[in-house]
Amino acid sequence: MKNRLEFSNITKAFPGIVALSEVSFCADSGHITALLGENGAGKSTLLKILSGDIKADSGEVLLDGEAQNFKVPSDALRGGISVIYQERQMVASLSVMENIFAGELPHNKFGVINYKKLRKEAQELIDLFELPLDARMTVGRLSVAQQQMVEIMRAYRRNSDVIAFDEPTASLADTEITILFRLIKELARQGKIVIYVSHRMAEIFQITDKIIVLKDGKKVADFQTGETDEPTLVKAMVGREIGDTFNKLSRCTERGDTVLEVKNLTTKKVTDISLTLRSGEIVGLAGLVGAGRTELARAIFGADKVESGEIVIEGRSTRYKNPSGALACGVALCPEDRKEEGLVLSRSIRQNITVSVLSRIRKFIFLDNAKEKKLSDIAVEKYDIKTPSTGKLVGELSGGNQQKVILGRATNELMATKVLILDEPTKGIDVGSKAEIYQIICDFAKSGMGVIVISSELPEVLNISDTIYVMANGKITGVLSREEASEEHVLELAMAGQ
């Protein structure tokens, strides 16, 4: 049984971003330590280092003073560290008991499983935590909450000394959260070191003993839960120097007619969304991870099925069912995951830019190469894409340049884009290129487009948008103008209803 987990001067940088900078704190056995911070603060990076998924650039993770050296995740598991993520790591077709004891089912020397023993031990564990589960149930039939409990049981059975939770209550109902909390408290009572990563204030005050606040990769506060309150925490989480970047922007001040009206839109992931966007306006969608912003964008773009509600473009109600239809109506989307969803990496810059307008660069039945080259040259110049030629493969470009290719694809002159949706346009991009992109976004607005920007960086979404819609749990929780919005207010709205 280990007594203390310590992070000592952990630093981790990715190309263009410093994710963690000299983070140090410790967590003791028998206590529940919270890791609080907004998106991009560094919480998930820290967890990945803890679980052995990635390695820190410098600094150490120490268990009872001994530095841990994990090369692969299974090292961390064997070292006694379990991280419960949001994605389930189980085999749905097997039973609860088989998943709890996965890989180490009790067997005799011939390998024959002793099912009686397995069931007994699994059920004992389940009963110890007073969970409403039967060891023989098939995991695939359980609800998300119940599956999570199975995973916690597995971590416990492994005799992990450290059990970390990453946003565990994201998909849970009230009653399930109560059971989960009892479970977590019991884990602490049994002497485990529990780390609880979350952005939900109410819960943090409910079960944690100590709170570590991360902001921009640094540890900014270290409180005992009983000695602090919500406003103090929020203040610690936000409030940063934005500098001149946003002040120097040349914005669009004129507003035209309404280009996009979303009326009571409901899909599987979002409920009853209503939103208005005018020509020349930049609307920001703020919220925490899982709030439903990307899902809303996809619904507006026709990529996901709409169950009810209406999308009205320039006064005309639309009925498109796929991205192709949305593009024909003048709606364009730049997806969140550049490499997986936004670009065909094995093709050239030219071919990626013209994906959406192939019908329009035709001469009779053939593609007009000259037109295509001209179009992409214009885009390269307009967005200052650094490349020796437009024939270069997109997979070989830097992140910033790749993003610009996607922008070029969505906004070239053959597109007549009226509504442009940008999902995390500056993710993974260095500071210098970010400023460039902010101006490009303002220029879009100036040219008459309506722009929707989704961003998890509060200062970014606050300062680029004219109007901010805050989302939580698939719904809109607030609408603010740039003047009246503040980081604290937005964060509160983003955490509302949790």
Q: Kindly list the residues in this chain that would bind another protein in the complex (CB under 8 A).
A: 73-74, 77-78, 89-95, 98, 102-105, 107, 110-113, 115, 136-138, 140, 143-144, 171, 173-174, 268, 271, 301, 303, 322-324, 326-327, 333, 335, 340-347, 351, 355-356, 358-359, 362, 365-367, 369, 395-397, 409, 473-475, 497
Cα 349 to its chain centre, rounded Å, is: 27
Closer residue to another protein (CB): 171 or 463: 171
- Cα 336 to Cα 425: distance, rounded to the nearest angstrom: 7
Minimum distance from residue 232 beta carbon to another protein (Å): 26
Closer residue to another protein (CB): 105 or 442: 105
Closer residue to another protein (CB): 209 or 341: 341
Minimum distance from residue 341 beta carbon to another protein (Å): 5
Burial zone of 246 (CB within 10 Å; 0-12 exposed, 13-18 middle, 19+ buried): middle
Residue 40 contacts by C-beta under 8 Å, 6 or more apart in sequence?
216, 456, 457
Closer residue to another protein (CB): 29 or 160: 160
Give one DSSP letter per residue of 249-277, joined into a string. Answer: --------SEEEEEEEEEESS--SEEEEE
- Cα 278 to Cα 4: distance, rounded to the nearest angstrom: 55
Minimum distance from residue 473 beta carbon to another protein (Å): 7
- 12 in Cβ contact with 45 (< 8 Å): yes
Dihedral, CA of residue 375, residue 378, residue 384 and residue 386, to nearest 10:
50
Minimum distance from residue 151 beta carbon to another protein (Å): 10
Residue 387 contacts by C-beta under 8 Å, 6 or more apart in sequence?
349, 380, 397, 401
Minimum distance from residue 235 beta carbon to another protein (Å): 26
Dihedral, CA of residue 28, residue 33, residue 38 and residue 41, to nearest 10:
10
Rg (Cα) of the chain, in Å, rounded?
25
Closer residue to another protein (CB): 26 or 345: 345
Minimum distance from residue 389 beta carbon to another protein (Å): 13
Closer residue to another protein (CB): 1 or 358: 358
Burial zone of 224 (CB within 10 Å; 0-12 exposed, 13-18 middle, 19+ buried): exposed
Phi, psi of 363 (to 5 degrees): -120, 105
Closer residue to another protein (CB): 366 or 484: 366
Closer residue to another protein (CB): 340 or 483: 340
Minimum distance from residue 102 beta carbon to another protein (Å): 4
Minimum distance from residue 420 beta carbon to another protein (Å): 14
Minimum distance from residue 30 beta carbon to another protein (Å): 27
Nearest-5° Cα angle at 298, 292 to 299: 85
Q: Which amino acid is it at 254?
A: E
Minimum distance from residue 91 beta carbon to another protein (Å): 3
- Cα 392 to Cα 405: distance, rounded to the nearest angstrom: 12
Closer residue to another protein (CB): 309 or 323: 323
Minimum distance from residue 44 beta carbon to another protein (Å): 18
- Cα 160 to Cα 100: distance, rounded to the nearest angstrom: 13
Minimum distance from residue 78 beta carbon to another protein (Å): 8
Q: Which amino acid is it at 280?
A: G
- Cα 467 to Cα 242: distance, rounded to the nearest angstrom: 19
Closer residue to another protein (CB): 98 or 281: 98
Closer residue to another protein (CB): 30 or 323: 323
Minimum distance from residue 68 beta carbon to another protein (Å): 17
What is the maximum span of the chain, computed from C-alpha positions, in angstroms? 79
With b for 16 or more beta-carbon neighbours within 10 A and e for fewer, the 425-457 pattern comes to bbbebeeebbbbbbebbbbbbeeebbbbbbbbb
Closer residue to another protein (CB): 30 or 106: 106
- 446 in Cβ contact with 438 (< 8 Å): no
Nearest-5° Cα angle at 406, 403 to 409: 155
Closer residue to another protein (CB): 69 or 143: 143
Burial zone of 109 (CB within 10 Å; 0-12 exposed, 13-18 middle, 19+ buried): exposed
- 472 in Cβ contact with 443 (< 8 Å): no
